[in-house]
Amino acid sequence: MFAGMNNCITILTGAGISAESGLGTFRDEGGLWAQHRIEDVATPEGFTRDPELVQGFYNARRAQAVEAVPNAAHSALAKLEAEFDGEVLIITQNVDGLHEKAGSQNVLHMHGALSVALCATCEHRWEAPLVMQTSDKCPSCGAQATRPDIVWFGEMPYGMEQIDEALQRSTLFASIGTSGNVYPAAGFVAEARRLGCPTVEINLEPSEGCSLFDDSRLGPATQTVPAWVAELLKP
Active site residue ranges: 111
Nearest to 108 by CA among 94, 92, 125: 92
Please, what's the largest Cα pairwise distance for the chain? Answer: 58
Q: Which of residues 66-95 bind ligand BJW (CB under 6 A)?
A: 93, 95
Q: 138 is in the binding site of which of ligand BJW, Zn ion, none (Cβ under 5 to 8 A by kind)?
A: Zn ion
What is the bridge-based pairing of β-strands 87-92 and 107-109?
parallel
Q: Which is nearer to Zn ion, 49 or 137 (CB)?
A: 137
The least CB distance from residue 173 to ligand BJW, in Å, is: 16
Nearest to 112 by CA among 153, 69, 77, 63: 153
**Stretch in the footprint of ligand BJW (CB under 6 A) among 4-12, 15-23, 117-125, 189-197:** 15-23
Among 55, 75, 170, 179, binds ligand BJW (CB under 6 A): 179
Terminal C-alpha separation, the chain: 16
Give me the DSSP letters along 151-205.
Answer: --TTSPPTTHHHHHHHHHH-SEEEEES--S-STTGGGHHHHHHHTT--EEEEESS
What is the bridge-based pairing of β-strands 125-127 and 112-119?
antiparallel
Among 141, 190, 195, 218, binds Zn ion (CB under 5 A): 141
Among 9, 12, 19, 119, binds ligand BJW (CB under 6 A): 19
Residues forming the site for ligand BJW (CB under 6 A): 14-16, 19-20, 25-28, 31, 42, 93, 95, 111, 150-157, 177-179, 181-184, 203-205, 207, 220-221
Residues forming the site for Zn ion (CB under 5 A): 119, 121-122, 124, 138, 140-141, 143
